Amino acid sequence: MRVVVTGAAGFIGSNLVHGLNAIGIDDVIAVDDLTDGPKYRNLLDAQISDYFDKSEFYARFARGEFGRVDAVLHQGACSDTMEHNGRYMLDTNYRCSKDLLDACQSQGTRLLYASSAATYGGSETFREEPAFEKPLNVYGYSKLLFDNIVRRMLPRASSQVAGFRYFNVYGPREQHKGRMASVAFHHFHQFREHGKVKLFGDYGGYAAGEQSRDFVFIDDVVAVNLWFLQHPDKSGIFNLGSGRAQPFNDVAVATVNAARALSGEPALPLQQLVAQGLVEYIPFPDALRGKYQCFTQADLGTLRAVGCNHVFADVASGVERYVRWLAHHPFV
């Protein structure tokens, strides 16, 4: 099987490449923009058959220059939710994806692509239906616009098209994301450097640290993508989260206790972590007011309805595995 992974040196893309290798697929064409050179580290030890810069790949693929490609796992995008340049966002996340979709359909190539839970924005219901799609920023809108194109063409699709609305993904190989890296990543480094982690105080009717998100471990994201790769008859738009909302306090507790365990120290409950200054609350930033999702939780009904019964890790187990990985990969 020949598979293309766009955004291959990024967080989810690189983990997908490693996941493909783990099931015996090494004819992988990696596509990315390595202007940020250190991202290459995410592909160390991965088996790929070729690499192309994104500036040349899409046009060449549309011309059919790569021969038979079984599937494209399209992760390439601008995922910075604080990017306000709508022209850039739509060109990168919508137009590029639309052209790729057209090329895949003309060549009979399956397309599995990254959407986002940002499509729901200010909604309180997270089900794959237009009534609940209320993006709060142009990033969410760019993802929703492409999802809607997919919806329109699915009845006449000639090959599989599956979009995944990623919720709050965390795990190995996200270090290059900077401020957009997961809470668990930032908590680990805060604790290592300052001996404490910081959380937002009360906001939106939620007590300090109790704003809740659907945190999903990267290994689970890879597993679901590979399930669809192995089930080419399943198409649609699917939530990809754990289906379980947990407060940021849970992430802080899991991170700090996992880090303490590495030093042989016992786990402590939240109250003691706060009392000892290991967890600290800071005022909610004005810049995020009105633009912040205080609660997300994936409705997995559509995913389960097509037969994907993958069991997702909770925050405690996923973060513990991630902290152990971070501790052994200090320069990655």
How far apart CA 96 and CA 129 sit, in angstroms, is: 24
DSSP, res 228: H
Whether the per-residue pLDDT at 144 is higher than 70: the answer is: yes
Among candidate residues 134, 177, 196, 198, the one labeled active-site is: 177
pLDDT score recorded for residue 52: 97
Give the distance from CA 311 to its chain's centroid: 17
* Sheet strands (E) in 2-57: 2-6, 27-32, 50-53
pLDDT score recorded for residue 332: 55
Active site residue 141: no
Torsion, Cα of 289, 291, 296, 302 (10° steps): 170
Over range 235-250, report the average pLDDT. 98
> Quick check: 207 and 276 in contact, CB under 8 A?
no
Q: Which amino acid is at 196?
A: K
Angle between helices 96-107 and 138-153 (to 10 degrees): 20
- The whole-model pTM stands at 0.95
Give the distance from CA 191 to its chain's centroid: 24
pLDDT digits (tens, 9 = 90+) for 184-201: 999 999 999 999 999 999
Closest-CA residue to 250 (of 262, 258, 260, 240)? 258
Locate 11 and state its tokens. Answer: 């967080």
Q: Give the three-class secondary structure for 224.
A: helix
Over range 4-20, report the average pLDDT. 98
> Quick check: 210 and 274 in contact, CB under 8 A?
no
How far apart CA 332 and CA 322 sit, in angstroms, is: 13
Among candidate residues 113, 139, 170, 322, the one labeled active-site is: 139
Over range 220-231, report the average pLDDT. 98
Average pLDDT, the chain: 95
Over range 292-300, report the average pLDDT. 93
Active site residue 40: no
> Quick check: 162 and 235 in contact, CB under 8 A?
yes
pLDDT digits (tens, 9 = 90+) for 43-82: 999 999 999 999 999 999 999 999 999 999 999 987 777 7
| Residues in CB range of 306: below 8 A, 6 or more apart | 231, 234, 236, 238
pLDDT score recorded for residue 331: 62
Backbone φ, ψ for residue 71 (5° rounding): -155, 150
How far apart CA 313 and CA 217 sit, in angstroms, is: 7
